[in-house]
Amino acid sequence: MASYEVEHSTTPDTAADNQPHSSPRHHRRPDLSSFFATLNEITPNPSESRTRPDAVPVPGDVSAAFRSLAEALDVIRRETESGGDAPLPVYDGHQPEGLGLAGEGADGGLIGQMIRTLLQEAEAPPREVEGVSEGFCDALERVATASLKPSQSCPICNNPFLDDPYPLVVRLPCHTSHLFDLECVRPWLRLRGTCPLDRFDFGKKERVKEQERIEKMMKRRTATEEDEDAEWDGMYG
């Protein structure tokens, strides 16, 4: 995936120099390097064939990825909602309720709901990660800065898009109004594959394709083994 500097045709130094001194300061962004390192360990590279098509990630590693992202989102939540003093939301054993399109009526808003969902998954991790590929994130529609309004903000971090001198805003395919900062929504999409607002499952199609690929691989392997057995029987039978 292209870096922030490449996406915006700038460098960290020039971005800082060009930013107006009166611009509102963005909230602190969490370090996601550990999360993506863990994610890379538990998700297969689609460009490489698995040597063991039926292999699944270690549950502890999957759980660590969910908890890592929950903690990263909590950094944003602390900055935006409580000045850094609120504790990490706790999964209480109950299924999180849906938020609807606006995320109203849920304790902690959208980001609190996302954190609780991640903590729930960390307690009982799925057999495999159901997120989308990096290619899916790269292909998301970029929203032109000129089309953004001052009142529009990212549903996850609550930062107004135009507070950033170089906003990188994407539109999710499920609804024209579902706009997000790419750096906010990307890790969620990579891990869970759903829209944070309406939970539309983008990863389902990719999972179906992956399953079909594995089934074809298994069929080819079975056919090869049968051919080898037949050849062996012909020689020594």
* Alpha carbon distance, N-terminus to C-terminus of the chain: 56
**pLDDT by residue (tens digit) across 52-100?**
445 567 888 999 999 999 999 999 888 876 554 555 555 444 444 433 3
Report if residue 179 sits inside a domain. yes
Residue 9 lies in a domain: no
Instruction: Decide if 6 is inside a domain.
Output: no
Q: What is the pTM of this model?
A: 0.69
Name the domain count of the chain. Answer: 1
Residue 16 lies in a domain: no
- Cα separations in angstroms, 51 against 45, 56, 76, 165: 12, 12, 39, 46
Look at the block and give the residue holding tokens 């012909």. Answer: 234
CB 143 within 8 A of CB 170: yes
Give the residue-averaged pLDDT of 219-224. 77
Confirm whether 183 is domain-assigned: yes
| Structure-block tokens of residue 158 | 């609550």
Q: Read off the pLDDT band of 223 (50, 70, 90).
A: confident
228 assigned to some structural domain: yes
| 117 token code pair | 């969902």
Q: Do the Cβ atoms of 42 and 62 come closer than 8 Å?
A: yes
Question: Would residue 19 count as lying in a domain?
Answer: no
Range of the domain at 203: 29-236
The answer to whether residue 159 sits within a structural domain is yes
